Amino acid sequence: MSLKLFKKFKITHLLLILGFLVYGPFAVSSYAADSRIGFLNIQKAVSSTKEWKKNFDKFKADFTKEKQRIKLREKKLKKMLDNLNKTSLVTKPELKKKQENQFRKEKIDFERYVQDQNAEFGKQEKEMTQKILVKMMKIIKKIGEEKKYTMILEQKVVLYHDKGNDLTSIATRAYDRANK
């Protein structure tokens, strides 16, 4: 630790850090013995709810329709390019330039449209997920309080846990009951 950094700390901060380093392991181990910890895969819990499945089915149908519209526009653009290539040798230069400019404009419009649609669908999916996630967090908190859990952690941040403390399906069922 550099002398400059050392001087910045107040003596109370140093004492607190030293106290935690010395007594922290004992405090954590005694706390852990009295605690009840649950685990949950929040992504699975959210995506397993009836509300998510219903909303996602509609989302997927809308997305599929949009993909078909994009394919049609892409075909039209490709056909336009093919015609431009086929007739380029026999077309007058000023007409050829006009057609090329029209093609470039159509291509740029198409690319922007695809980007806008991707952004819009991403936004819709995020909003749908966020809405359900907020409600799910309330359900998880309620489960924690009712079943006297000290804490409930996301499974992804834990290296190992007892599968008996997995609350994912319990949270999904509780969510479905609360949001009929």
Q: What is the pLDDT of residues 37-91, one digit of tens each?
A: 999 999 999 999 999 999 999 999 999 999 999 999 999 999 999 988 888 788 8
Residue by residue, DSSP assigns 85-106 as HHHTTTS-HHHHHHHHHHHHHH
Tell me what the pLDDT averaged over the chain comes to. 84
pLDDT for the residue numbered 11: 46
Q: What percent of the chain is modeled with pLDDT above 90? A: 64
pLDDT for the residue numbered 178: 94
pLDDT for the residue numbered 110: 95
Residue 147: which residues within 8 A CB-CB, separation 6 or more? 36, 38
C-alpha span between 97 and 6 (Å, rounded): 71
What domains sit in the chain, N to C, each tagged with a CATH number? 1-34 (no CATH), 35-178 (3.30.910.20)
pLDDT for the residue numbered 33: 56
C-alpha span between 120 and 122 (Å, rounded): 5
The model's confidence at residue 32, banded by pLDDT at 50, 70 and 90, is: low
